[in-house]
Chain A
Amino acid sequence: MTTASPAVPATGATATKRWRRWLPTPKLIITVGVAGAIGYLALVPLYYLIWGTFFDAKGFSLGGFGRAYGDERVGELIANSLWFAIGAAALSLVVGTALAYLNVRTDVPFKALFFAASIIPLIIPGILYTIAWIFLASPEIGLINKVLEPIFGPGLFDVFTVRGMIWVEGLHLSPIVFLLMVATFRSMDPSLEESALMCGASRWQVFRKITVPLTRPAIVAAVLIMTVRSLESFEVPALLGLQNGIYVFTSRIYFVLRTYPPDLAAAGSLASGLLVIAMVGVAISNIVSRSGKSFQTVTGKGFRPRAMELGRWRPVMGSAIVVYFFLTVVAPLLVLLYTSLLRFYQPPSVAAFKSMSLENYRQLVHLSQAATALKNSLFLGVATATLVMAAMAIAAWIVVRSRIPGRQLVDQFAFVPLVIPGLVLGLALSFVYLRSPVPIYGTIFILLIAYCTRYMPYGMRYAVTSMHQIASELEESAQVSGASWWQTFRRVLLPLLAPGLLAGWIYILVVSFRELSSSILLYSPGNEVLSILIFEQYENGQFTVLSALGVVMVLTLVVLVTVGYKLGAKVGLRQD
């Protein structure tokens, strides 16, 4: 039945309205709750980190700084950190950009391999990638060294050096650069290059004078992001550097905390130093990418430029792609699989192949720790992804759509954890919850808090991007149709956001599943996750069981990602 034209509201209704006005609406509860949670997660660890660094039992003290930076080897620490970070960033940039250009702009063969080469390394956890490279290029046991020994003598490659660290980290980061640069090259109007060609410039001149300057903002941003990520990297420096006493910030913090008694103030001082460097890097990259927006020529539009013909270079480039694919994907996975089938680690030989069995996998089944770790990792991955994406969907609405004053703060707070290296976050959270009366320390929930904090920025990026893609009129028309805020959110926004949220969910699931650098300072026996277990087994020298666990971990991730994308395709199908 239609009500008569909505005239003056009845007097009875006004009375109810009056007391209902004092009740918080769902909109208020949800938005304030989410904004508060973001602020809490972003700021509290930083506060306690500073507090723990500068205050000890006696009050304010700079003693921690003295102990952390007073060492005469501190110069070496900083030099190593920067050399490692910049080297890895440069390597990943050169490799990633070259591959992206080849893929987007040329008729290079094996284009299908690009996809695999860019996605699979993202799935392989850093710790497994590093260990795989130890199996490949350790001077004593490295497979590559063994194969090349007859020609070059023993120990041609040594992965336990800064160069080795750069190699492993750079290769592991290169797919990220590849994905960034592919997007950039795709969104650049090819007519800009074509017109330069028409003006008589050679291909090389066009690349140098047009392509590079136009993509410079993206390149600079990529360098800075990769530098910061390498600075924050823990797996590579810990596994490759500590062996020969090569310290960078992260491994030094870990080292300081592992000695007894742990010097929290000194670790905090180192962490603060790392935090400052990371913040400077992120700040510069933000400035650069903002000024890059003035390049109107690089638009969001997707172009399908005519592929440049490589001619006689085509086979050369083709084989380079195959080598790259082999190095980044095939070799590390294969060596893990190979090791997982052995009784003890040995170079390939007839005897080795004969001794192969599934014994390690059988051991895993009986290893109760492994089952617990897998369960913990799965729980943390799913819980983190779900919590973060649900909260960030609301946060994205606050930032993009609402007119709540101070909404930009929500955005900024959500991005704070981006500059906090995982290890620093772990340290800061242990400062918080060691003192907190809430019994979270020593439970799996402290890991959940750490993961939610770390991956909040990524969730925010995904949610904000998809929110921007939804025309505000779609929301306004629901409002005008009489839908309340929550009805609009649930029935119009959420279904439309679903593909983007799901993509973010998968990403966070994957990265949480393999998280190591925060977990290493926060886990307690019984709460191990897979990456921690692998780390422990590496330290105990259980290479073969570790490899089996690694294979299981990679397979689980592959299954998770596949299921996720299948689900995503379903959501996506309804879209068009």
Chain B
Amino acid sequence: MLRVDNLVKTFDGERRRRRSPGAEADGRVFAVNDVTFNVPEGALFTLLGPSGCGKTTTLRSIAGLERPDSGTIEVGGRVLFTGGLPGKKTVNVPANERGLGMVFQSYAIWPHMSVFDNVAFPLQVRKRAQRPGRMEISERVLRVLETMELADLADRLATKLSGGQQQRLALARALVIEPPLLLLDEPLSNLDAKLRESLRYELKRLQRELGITSVYVTHDQVEALVLSTSIAVMKGGNVIQLGRPREIYENPNSRFVAEFIGTSNFIVGTVVAKENERYVVDTADGRLMLDSAASMPAGTDVIVSIRPEAVEVSTTSRAGEVPNEWTGTVLTRAFLGDAVDHVVAVGKHEIRARGNPSVSIEQGTGVYLRMDPSKLALVPVD
């Protein structure tokens, strides 16, 4: 549905202060550096990364608001941009002829128009030949407002809406032309935490119901995990890892991804043996067994990424029954309501464990830590 190939976008030095990644010798900064991905029909594809990673620039390039230096962008087989290829003509369809829907971070609701007028605008500005009649415009606007549960507010001045309503209005405006592709630029970041959480599920339901192909930009990992059919984690203008949410969470391919998505304990070690996908890694504090699809020959220095919820804390030993049991002392514990965190000192390491609130062990107690080999991940040393 959406194909992005080898997208490159640089900014000149003037903008360096705003975007951090490394500058080139000529003062140009790569905001997006050779990004390639495909989004199948009906999918919700998320660009996830910290600020300045190039995710918004990628989205704006798809929208036509930024002009990439080179690469190709295709939606439904229609080339929206292609450039920088020797011997081929540059194509750059202007944003207003791309026919895509977009929800902006600030919603960009026009404050001088009513709710109805905001949604009607994309239909009213069409070229005369394609413009629907007055009746049809009003019918389509009301239909989409109905879907967004805003029909009662159609005559209201757009600025009189609450945050959640404004978000739905922005969505209604983006969807009224029934675009082949919906672009969402951090649409939930302006809302308070409670509303954000409920709208997350609302957005997911709508997207799956309408089956509209979407590209979603966010820096919030939970949002990405909840909403996406697939995620591209970006850093410094590059896609670091691309995959389904579960894959990315359970098998991060780098320390950066493991750190950015969720929290993780990192333990440095060396691969001593490998049999099929079962690795044996020696660390300063003991031996770990783990399953990984990564290919790291014996002798490689690696980092083992251990999610806190993969660590079981117990006062009784089950050594011999299960692998990967270490001993340590509880340094601190914290009650989080739905879970209890223990920070356990093991040799030189401090390992964070998250478990059921029923298990809460006092500070200073000696404990056993057990780590499920299938839930540990191997990432290369960077």
Contacts and interface: CB of A to CB of B under 8 A. Distances in A.
Q: Do A and B come from one complex?
A: yes
Interface of A: 1-3, 5-9, 471, 473-474, 476-485, 487-488, 491-492, 495-496, 574-576
Given A473-B104, A473-B106, A480 B63 contact: yes
B134 to A, nearest CB: 14
A483 B125 contact: yes
Choose among A5, A9, A496 the residue with the greatest number of B CB atoms under 10 Å from its CB: A5
A372 to B, nearest CB: 41
B122 A482 contact: yes
Main secondary structure, interface of B, reads loop
B380 interface: no
A476 B174 CA distance: 12
Contact of A478 (B63, B77, B121): B121
Given A471-B106, A476-B104, A481 B125 contact: yes
A473 B105 contact: yes
10 contacts: A1-B132, A8-B77, A477-B173, A479-B96, A482-B99, A482-B177, A484-B125, A495-B112, A496-B110, A576-B159
Given A479-B95, A480-B65, A480-B102, A474 B108 contact: yes
A413 B94 CA distance: 30
Given A6-B78, A473-B106, A482 B97 contact: yes
Interface in B147-194: 159, 170, 173-174, 177-178, 180, 183
A480 B100 contact: yes
Contact of B121 (A471, A483, A484, A496): A483
Contacts of A477: 102, 104, 108, 110, 170, 173
A484 B96 contact: yes
A3 B77 CA distance: 16
A348 B174 CA distance: 73
Given A477-B104, A496-B112, 20 more contacts: A3-B130, A6-B78, A6-B99, A6-B180, A7-B76, A7-B78, A471-B106, A473-B104, A473-B105, A476-B63, A476-B104, A477-B102, A477-B170, A478-B125, A479-B94, A480-B64, A480-B183, A481-B173, A482-B96, A496-B110
B109 to A, nearest CB: 8
Nearest to A476: B65
Nearest to B106: A473
A7 B102 contact: no
Given A479-B65, A480-B102, A8 B78 contact: yes
B357 interface: no
B101 interface: yes
Choose among A474, A481, A487 the residue with the greatest number of B CB atoms under 10 Å from its CB: A481
A482 B125 CA distance: 7
B247 interface: no
B318 interface: no
Interface string B113-127: 000000001100110
A491 B65 contact: no
A575 B111 contact: yes
Nearest to B140: A2
